Structure 1
Amino acid sequence: MMTVNVNSGVVSTIIPVFNRPEMLRRAVESVLSQTYKSIEIIIVDDGSTDNTLSVANALRHEHSAIRVLSIENSGPGAAREAGRLNATGEFVQYLDSDDILLPEKFTKQVGKLNQNPKCDVCYCQTSLQRLDGSVVTPWKRTGEKIDQIIPAMLASRWWDTSTPLYTRRVVELAGPWHTWINEEDWEYDCRIGFNSTGLAYVPDILSVQMEHQEARLSHDGARDQQKLKSRVNARMAIIGQSLNAPPATESSEFVTQLKYSFLLSRQAGAAGLADESRDLFNLVQPHLKSRNISVLGMTLYKLGAQLIGWQAMGKLSEQIDKLRK
Structure 2
Amino acid sequence: MISVVIPVWNRAGMVGRTLESLAAQTVWPGRVVLVDNDSTDDTARVLRQWAMGRKDVEVVCERVPGAAAARNCGLAAVDSEYVMFFDSDDVMPAGHVADVVRGLRDNGLPDIGAFDAVIRTDSGAVMPKPFRRGDVMFNHLFHGVLSTQRMVVKTSVIRGCGGWNASLRVWDDLELGVRLLSRGAGVKRLELTAPVTIMSHGDSITGTAFSPKAGLWEAALDCCDKELPRRYASLTDYRRAILAGDYLREGRPDLAAGVMVTHRPWLMALIRRYVAAGGRGVAEIARIFR
* TM band (smaller chain): 0.7 to 0.9
Aligned to 2:81, the other structure's residue is in SS state: strand
Structure with the higher helix share, 1 or 2: 1
Contact in 2 for aligned 1:184/1:230 (Cα 8 Å): no
CA RMSD across the alignment = 3.3
2:254 maps to which residue?
270
Q: CA deviation at 1:220?
A: 6.5
Structure-2 change in CA distance of 1:221 and 1:82 (3 Å): farther
**1:206 maps to 2:195:** yes
1:89 maps to which residue?
80
Q: CA deviation at 1:107?
A: 1.9
Structure-2 change in CA distance of 1:132 and 1:113 (3 Å): same
**One-letter amino acid matched to 2:218:** V
Structure-2 change in CA distance of 1:296 and 1:49 (3 Å): closer
Q: CA deviation at 1:38?
A: 4.2
What percent identity do the matched residue pairs reach? 21
**One-letter amino acid matched to 1:261:** R
**One-letter amino acid matched to 1:206:** P
2:156 maps to which residue?
169
Q: CA deviation at 1:258?
A: 1.4
**1:62 maps to 2:53:** yes
2:32 maps to which residue?
41
Return the match for 2:227 from 238, 241, 245: 241
Contact in 2 for aligned 1:149/1:190 (Cα 8 Å): no
**1:260 maps to 2:239:** yes
Distance 2:146 2:206 in 1: 15
Structure-2 change in CA distance of 1:13 and 1:270 (3 Å): same
Distance 1:69 1:108 in 2: 27
Structure-2 change in CA distance of 1:117 and 1:158 (3 Å): closer
Distance 1:21 1:229 in 2: 29
2:23 maps to which residue?
32
Instruction: Provide the TM-score with structure 1 as the length reference.
Output: 0.71
Q: CA deviation at 1:69?
A: 1.1
Q: CA deviation at 1:196?
A: 4.4
Contact in 1 for aligned 2:112/2:186 (Cα 8 Å): yes
2:286 maps to which residue?
none
Structure-2 change in CA distance of 1:297 and 1:217 (3 Å): closer
Aligned to 1:87, the other structure's residue is in SS state: coil
Structure-2 change in CA distance of 1:186 and 1:208 (3 Å): same
Question: For structure 2, which runs of at least 5 residues remain unmatched after alignment?
Answer: 280-290
Structure-2 change in CA distance of 1:73 and 1:30 (3 Å): same
Structure-2 change in CA distance of 1:118 and 1:261 (3 Å): same
Structure-2 change in CA distance of 1:162 and 1:263 (3 Å): closer
Contact in 2 for aligned 1:12/1:91 (Cα 8 Å): yes
Structure-2 change in CA distance of 1:135 and 1:232 (3 Å): closer
Aligned to 1:84, the other structure's residue is in SS state: helix
Aligned to 2:98, the other structure's residue is in SS state: helix
Return the match for 2:204 from 208, 216, 227: 216
Pairing of 1:1-325 with structure 2 (within 5 A): 9=1, 11-72=2-63, 74-117=65-108, 119-136=110-127, 138-139=128-129, 141-142=130-131, 144=132, 146-147=133-134, 149-158=136-145, 160-179=147-166, 180-204=168-192, 205-212=194-201, 214-219=202-207, 222-224=210-212, 227-242=213-228, 245-246=229-230, 248-249=231-232, 255-262=234-241, 264=243, 270-271=254-255, 277=258, 281=260, 284-285=261-262, 288=263, 293-294=264-265
1:4 maps to which residue?
none
Instruction: Provide the TM-score with structure 2 as the length reference.
Output: 0.79
Distance 2:179 2:276 in 1: 35
